[in-house]
Amino acid sequence: MRKIPHFLSITDLSAAEFWQVLKLSKRLKDEHKKTGLNKTLFKNKTLIMIFEKPSLRTRISFESGMTHLGGHAIFLGPSDIGMGSREEPRDVSIVSSSVCDIIMARTFKHETVENLARYSTVPVINALSDLEHPCQILADFMTIWEVKKKLTGLTLAFVGDAENNVTHSLALGCGLLGMNFRVGAPKGYWMKPTVLAQAQALAKKTGVTIQQTTKPQDAVKGADVVITDTWVSMGDEKEKKKRLKIFQPYQVTSKLMKLADKKALFLHCLPAYRGNEVAAEVIDGPQSVVFAEAENRLHAQKGLMVYLLSKS
C-alpha cells in the first residue's frame, strides 16, 4: 500500500521536494497571472478545511486555490465539528477522508493534526498548529526567492517571540535549504530546544548556522531578510500586558532595519499590530513585501496541493 504523503512539518519535504513545490507554485502563479486561469487539475476533487482557529489568509487562499484548479472546498468551523469535545479527531479523520481528496487543518495543538494524519486515507496539510506553520513558510520562501532570485546562502533574522510556530518552521526550513537563521528574542521566549536541535542538525548538513541571541541588533546585522510576528498570539491574550512590556525592545524599527543589508526585505505573516512588533514606517515602507507574501499563500498552497495529490 502506498504511503499517504502528508505535510505536517517543513521537514516532511526533502530539499529537492521543497524546490519542486516552489517551482510548481511559481508556474501555477505565472499561468494564472498571464491567462486569469489555471488548468482544472482538481476537477471533481474536494478539499475539507478544518478550522479550530479563525484566519483570513488561510481560508481565502485554500478556498480560492481549489476554485482556481477546478475543485471544491468545504469549510468546517469549530461549531460544525466540536473536534475534541463532540467528536474525536480520529473519527473526524476517518469520515472526512472517506468522502474527500485532501484535508487541511488549522488547530490549536500539533497533536490534533498528527491524529488527523494518522487515521486519514488522503493527504493532510498542517495549516497551523502550536508547533509549526509550514504553509506560511512555503509562502515566505517563495516570496524571498522571487525577489532575491535565490535562497541558498542567504541570512534570515527573526526578531520577537521566538517560541512560536512561525519561528520553528523558519528554523527548520533554513536548515533544510541552506540558509543562515538568527533569532533575537528575550530569554524565556526562545525556540523549543527540540526544534532548535533538529534545525541545527539540518544546518550542519547544509553548512549553515542557526543561532539565538537576546540582542535584536546582533540578529539583524547584515541580514538579507528581517521577519517578525505578533507578540500576542491566539491563546496568549491573558499575558498581553506583560508581553507588550517584555518585547518592546524587540520592535522592528527603521533604526533596526538599517543594521540589515541595504537591500534587506521585511516579512510578517499578518495580522500585524503597527506600533507593537513593527513600526508603521517599516511594514508600510519600500523594504516590506508583506502583501506579496500574503498573496503567495495562495500560489504556494496550490503548488503544495498539486504535489501532494500527484504523490497520493
Binding residues: 106, 133-136, 165, 229, 233-234, 269-270, 297
269 catalytic per annotation: yes
Annotated binding-site positions for L-ornithine: 165, 229, 233-234
Question: 311, 5 in Cβ contact below 8 A?
Answer: yes
Handedness of CA 72, 77, 80, 83 (dihedral sign): positive
Catalytic residue among 6, 100, 229, 268: 229
Measure the CA–CA gap between 185 and 214, rounded to whole angstroms: 5
Distance, CA of 52 to CA of 240 (rounded, Å): 21
Catalytic residue among 32, 110, 182, 297: 297
> Is residue 211 annotated as part of the catalytic site, yes or no?
no
212 is catalytic: no
The catalytically annotated residue of 101, 110, 136, 182 is: 136
Marked catalytic residue, from 32, 133, 243, 268 = 133
As annotated, the binding site for carbamoyl phosphate includes 106, 133-136, 269-270, 297
End-to-end CA distance of the chain: 11
Judge contact between 195 and 168, C-beta under 8 A: yes
Is 243 annotated in the active site? no
Q: Find the catalytic residue in 212, 269, 299, 301.
A: 269
CB of 112 closer than 8 Å to CB of 83: yes
Q: SS3 for 52?
A: coil
Task: Find all residues with CB under 8 Å of 260, minimum gap 6, and list them.
Answer: 157, 220, 221, 222, 223, 224, 226
Cell numbers that stand for 80 in this block: 460544525
- In the block, cell 485532501 appears at 102
Q: Does residue 136 carry a catalytic annotation?
A: yes
Q: Which is the catalytic residue, given 59, 106, 110, 268?
A: 106
Does residue 130 carry a catalytic annotation? no
Catalytic machinery residues: 106, 133, 136, 229, 269, 297
